[in-house]
Amino acid sequence: VGACIVNSENKIVGIGYNGMPNGCSDDVLPWTRAAAHRLDTKYPYVCHAELNAIMNKNSADVKGCSMYVALFPCNECAKLIIQAGIKEVIFMSDKYHDSIEMTAARRMFDLAGIVYREFKPKCNKIIIDFNSINSRPSQKLL
């Protein structure tokens, strides 16, 4: 999951992805979604992309900025987004739309005047051909 904050000129001022807190090894803490005990899952530990994007910003503040996210933000990230002064959230997926966390996030966004909308790509996939990096275009010698 990722997040990207852009200013009014569409320049990137912060990026983040889901990960463990600084100094907490990914190899020691769990990444599993389900376990007998909640402490053995990723949920008590992982920092969401939105949090990391706000914390890793390269600007004095992000007031009035827009945030692009893969998933619609949870209620905890919604609080951070509101407090940071971000005014717009553009998301790719809202697959947890009916959950309590997402319902609470939408409620807070509405009350705070945060605009949120789904990003609808013009194409469904992007293909990157890494082999083309090493190929040289054919050139005719004069």
Provide the CA 43 distance to its chain's centre, in angstroms: 16
Instruction: Please list, residue by residue across 84-97, b when 16 or more beta carbons sit within 10 angstroms of its beta carbon and e when fewer do.
Output: bebbbbebbeeeee
Instruction: Give the annotated binding-site residues.
Output: 48, 74, 77
Binding-site positions for Zn(2+): 48, 74, 77
Q: Which residues contact 43 (CB under 8 A, 6 or more apart)?
A: 33
Q: Is 142 domain-assigned? A: no
Q: Tell whether the model's pLDDT for residue 142 goes beyond 90.
A: no
In this predicted model, which residue has the larger pLDDT, 138 or 38?
Answer: 38
Residue 107 domain boundaries:
2-16+50-123
- In-domain check, residue 140: no
- Structural domain tally of the chain? 1
DSSP at 24? S
Q: Which residue has the tokens 């990722």?
A: 2
Catalytic member of 9, 50, 76, 101: 50
User: Containing H/E element for 15?
Assistant: strand 12-17
25 inside domain: no
93 is a domain residue: yes
pLDDT digits (tens, 9 = 90+) for 59-79: 879 999 999 999 999 999 999
88 is catalytic: no
Q: What are phi and psi of 75, to 5 degrees?
A: -60, -35
**pLDDT one-digit tens code per residue, 63-122:** 999 999 999 999 999 999 999 999 999 999 999 999 999 999 999 999 999 999 999 999
98: domain CATH number is: 3.40.140.10
Q: What is the identity of the amino acid at 134?
A: N
Whether 137 is covered by a domain: the verdict is: no
Q: Classify residue 29: in a domain, yes or no.
A: no
Within a domain: residue 39?
no
Tokens of 90: 């553009």
